[in-house]
Amino acid sequence: MSRTDLHQNCRVTIDDVAKLAGVSIATVSHALNATGRIGLEARRRVLLIARHLKYYPNQNARCLAARTSRTMGVIVSDIENPFFAVAIRSFEGRARHWGYDVIVKETEYKVSHMKHAAERMLGQAVRGVAILTSEMSPTWLNEIVRRNIPVSCFDLDFVNAHATNLKADYLSGMRQVIDHLCQLGHRRIAFVGGRPGLKNVLSRHNSFVLSMREHGLEPGPMITGIQTLEGGFSAGLSLLKGSPRPTAVVSVNDLTAVSLIRAFGDRGLRVPQDVSVTGFDNTYLAEYFVPRLTTVDTHPDVLGRTALDALHEASRGAQRSGREFKINLDLVVRNSTGPAPDNSESN
């Protein structure tokens, strides 16, 4: 059998790599795991052949993963972000219901970590993978699907026979935010976004711009953040340097919102008396932070549960083709928003 045949039929084993490399199975194992003493040339040849064949440890098990494995994988951007923490908990709870174990990997918004996470899933004989991150590259997404491993994607707009997409209605959520702020008299509304290039960040940004223009308002200022506490704090200080100061700020997520409030407070501004702040995601931070945060509920619990159920159905053959699930968003009004200050025009 040729290399091409092995690659296309997903029947690559460690024995196949050994035969093509002209070495023993033990040598292949040592080369792949960086153990034992083998020559540099032999190691180079083994790694080259393994890479060409797209062989990973447990390849034989993985080819049967859709029917035999009891492990589901989930890849997220940031475990410390409460949004992902809730989604993971919901995913794991549903996994226990169906009798699965769960492997969790995070990317920290880094492409290199994403690659490692995808390789880990391919090497662990997972039954399915939930990709709850925007930085997954099409190359690795297609590589997982090519091996008949079902995937559930979050806002990647990727649907095929083995892939389900979970799509949040960001435009509806952002319209509710801007409608709320405009009803309170705000006209100068800023936006603090996230890392450039991430699809869900771009969706929230574009939804903000469209919602503002629907009210006849000029969007901005718009500042790029990094979706963390540190990033939000820095963005808050940057906003205060501008003139006139915005009377309200829409944040890309709750982490950014609470750190904006901290930055404003450090400079003597009160929320919401001097400036209103909204979040996005409705994590537990929104409920317990002071002031309690007005935010958009993206239902991360629904995301995690739906992602697992879709993988379960697909891996059992109950789902003949991928589907798209729409997640409706809801504004939750709390204490971080209030009427625009009377002296806003002079600030």
- The full set of domain ranges for the chain reads 3-55, 62-168+300-327, 170-297+332-346
Q: Return the minimum-mean-pLDDT range out of 2-16, 227-241, 272-286, 305-319.
A: 2-16
Which CATH fold topology does 170-297+332-346 show? Rossmann fold (3.40.50)
- Fold matches, 3-55 and 170-297+332-346: no
Look at residue 68 in the predicted model and tell me its pLDDT: 61
Please say if the pLDDT value at position 63 is more than 70: no
Alpha helices for 38-110 (secondary structure H): 40-53, 59-63, 65-68, 82-98
The H or E element containing residue 189 is strand 189-192
Look at residue 343 in the predicted model and tell me its pLDDT: 59
Average pLDDT over residues 92-109: 93
Q: How far apart are the first and last CA of the chain?
A: 75
Q: Are 263 and 236 in contact (CB under 8 A)?
A: yes
Could you give the maximum distance between any two Cα atoms of the chain, in Å? 81
Q: How confident is the model at residue 8 (pLDDT cuts 50, 70, 90)?
A: very low
Look at residue 142 in the predicted model and tell me its pLDDT: 80
Pairing, β 101-106 against β 222-223: unpaired
Pick the residue with more confidence: 60 or 54? 54
Q: What share of the chain is helix, strand, coil (3-state, %, to 5)?
A: 45, 15, 35
Look at residue 76 in the predicted model and tell me its pLDDT: 94
Domain 3-55 CATH assignment equals 1.10.260.40: yes
Superfamily for 62-168+300-327? Response regulator (3.40.50.2300)
Look at residue 205 in the predicted model and tell me its pLDDT: 95
Judge residue 272's burial from the number of C-beta atoms within 10 Å of its C-beta, 0-12 exposed, 13-18 middle, 19 or more buried.
buried
Please say if the pLDDT value at position 331 is more than 70: yes
Q: Return the minimum-mean-pLDDT range out of 57-71, 112-126, 194-208, 242-256.
A: 57-71
Average pLDDT over residues 23-29: 80
CA distance 42 to 23: 8
